[in-house]
A and B are shown apart, each in its own frame.
Chain A
Amino acid sequence: MTTNGKDHAALADEFNKDEPRVNWHDETLWWVRQKRDKAAHNVPEWELLRDTASRIKDNVLSHLSEYLIQFEAMAVSNGITIHWAADAEEHNNIILSILRRHRIDKMVKSKSMLTEECHLNEFLEQQGVDVVDTDLGERVVQLAGEPPSHIVLPCIHKKKEEIGEIFHEHLGTPAGNADPQFLTHAARLHLREKFLTRRVALTGVNFAVAETGEFVVCTNEGNADMGAHLADVHIACMGIEKLIPQRKHLGVFLRLLARSATGQPITTYSSHFKKPRPGQEMHIVLVDNGRSVHLGRADFRNSLKCIRCAACFNTCPVYRRSGGHSYHTAVAGPIGSILAPNLDRKKYSDLPFASTLCGSCSNVCPVKIDIHEQLYKWRQVIVQEGHAPLAKKAAMKTMTWVLSNPSVYHTAGKTGRWFMLNVPFTVNNGFNPWYRQRDMPVSPAESFGEWYKKNKK
């Protein structure tokens, strides 16, 4: 449940009130899925690559403690300061303490879903620190006062006219100008000033290499680099699961990431950070925040293989028609629905049910996470731990009784059909959610079982 009590179904219901907009959102993201298909099609060994990446990540999870120790040792020997944060609060405090030590209250930040997960921006704002998100999409939602709705395309839910209005209000662009080229250029100038004047840059980490202690940041915009190379202090935040064993494995992941995410063969920049610039401080914050617990769950640990490409979002027919904000969590979509219940079982108990279990997600996932199978398994856990609504529990108990007893089932079926045929109002009414937008099936005179008895036995 969100803080205002609405679950995915309720939020999705609101989202669907504007059908043309749903069509626009759905078609835009389906187009991204198609670009992914085209790019994948150009790599004849695509399925082998997925399998290889999956097995590399399996190896990482099975040796994670050793890789973490190796990574730390290498990074430290390269002059990087390593911090360990057990949870979101500690992560936020570590970053604040670095800022305080340098007496800095303004910074730039490039995309990091981890910092969204930890609610870093709100925390820093409360502490009087001004954070500017420099990814164009993130800057748009930051100015709009909203969270991102997609982990790769943060403002995919916003139309260009709306972005134009936001820029008019905050950047002074002409009213009514919705030209993407013009708006992007306005953002370029606005954010260039920030890059040039701010001394602390925070980035995410796409991949961290245990063998060398380096980390890789992938962007199309160049904002991570503009921030980092102009800052006195570069802080990189990463979940502990973002490691890969050796440098050569980057070849596998860099071939898969952008193709899966947007259909590009690679992002414009794949920057390998190993040592701080002379005179610069470089920090890496390694964050647990429930990951080590999740690692211990045999049914669910595979979700830690995620490389945050969002291919699962783009292919999910439910995500495309409900939007990221319906998931009321930092990472939405299918992968978010299997990660979030680990963070807060009750708050995110609705998410594993926001799916038809169609299986499309698992089959676009570059690291072969069994997303749809985990969704099913989370449903069992959530119900067993008592988070199912009472009405549903009662209905299921009734269904169990009916379906375990043939004579009850036959009677119930016959009765139900009789009512549907003779007193259709009993089901064709406003209390029946099916009936809102669909007609009920027509009741036949006899069931198959009755026909068989009459005609065959």
Chain B
Amino acid sequence: MSSRDKILAAVKNNQPGPRALPSLPGEDTAAHTGTVDLSSAFVSVLEAIGGSAYTVSGFDRIATILHELHPRAGRVITGCPELAALGEYGEKYADPHTLEDVGLAILSAHFGVAENGACWITEDRMIGRALPFIAQHLALVIRRQNIVPNMHVAYERIAELEAGAAGGNVAGGDSTGGFATFIAGPSKTADIEQSLVLGAHGPRSLIVFLIDEELSDAGFY
């Protein structure tokens, strides 16, 4: 009898009587209704966890801000065609080790989550799984209206995105590729006497740009 068979037999024999799955909490969280509330909640949580956020009217603004904040970024890779002028765009990197010297990666994420300041990004937007982690600094771009209130709605949104990507074919949910992640702020640690240090092994900083074409530039950066 293989270990697999032994284990499964023991588990089957010992598992208790059936207990039903509960329903999940609904979409309601305190005080999150319209888009404006969600994006300001998102920004305030993101800033509290060490990230920074800019609400902008378009990619020109993003380019300007990045020039100001990362003037000596060195090697820049972007997944946004609108920012192709800032660095490498449209290339493929067979060996992730060659990304070791990337100073700044600018990627497009799908949506943000207001309750925790996280952004969801799938492999197809990462230009290789290693890039969002190996770059010294990371910037993510989302549309301001693509912010969900909490993680329950986030997984509903993920399911919709996957169904869309597969053309409605969601058998086993395997249509979006093999890797995705929520990124909430820069990498960090508090392992040394609970002192928070931003910049552990992943990027040392994270900027999230929230694009809202309805915005005018007056009064903003």
Contacts and interface: CB of A to CB of B under 8 A. Distances in A.
A and B touch in the complex (CB under 8 A): yes
A221 B200 contact: yes
Interface stretch (A290-298, A317-325, A370-378): A290-298
Given A62-B17, A247-B159, A220 B177 contact: no
Size band of the interface chain A makes with B:
35 or more
Size band of the interface chain B makes with A:
35 or more
Interface stretch (B57-65, B72-80, B187-195, B213-221): B187-195
Nearest to A140: B191
A286 B7 contact: yes
Interface string B197-215: 1011111000000000000
B37 to A, nearest CB: 15
B156 A248 contact: yes
Q: Which label, helix, strand, loop or mixed, suits the secondary structure of the B interface?
A: loop
B159 A84 contact: no
Interface string B87-105: 0000000001100100000
A196 interface: yes
A221 B187 contact: yes
B49 interface: yes
Contacts of A146: none
B141 interface: no
Given A32-B194, A64-B11, A248 B178 contact: no
Given A212-B174, A230-B130, A247 B10 contact: no
Contacts of B191: 135-137, 140, 153-156
Interface stretch (A10-18, A261-269, A415-423): A261-269
Interface in A111-158: 134-137, 140, 153-156, 158
Contact of A55 (B21, B29, B185, B187): B21
Interface of B: 2-4, 6-8, 10-22, 24-25, 28-30, 45, 49, 96-97, 100, 113, 115-118, 128-130, 133-134, 150-152, 154-156, 158-159, 172-174, 177-195, 197, 199-203
9 contacts: A59-B18, A65-B12, A84-B7, A140-B192, A155-B191, A156-B194, A247-B155, A292-B7, A295-B10
Interface of A: 28, 31-32, 43-45, 48-49, 51-52, 55-56, 58-59, 61-65, 68-69, 74, 77-79, 84-86, 90, 134-137, 140, 153-156, 158-160, 163, 180-181, 183-185, 187-188, 191-192, 195-196, 211-213, 220-223, 225-226, 228-230, 240, 245, 247-252, 254-255, 262, 264-277, 286, 288, 292-293, 295-296, 298, 301
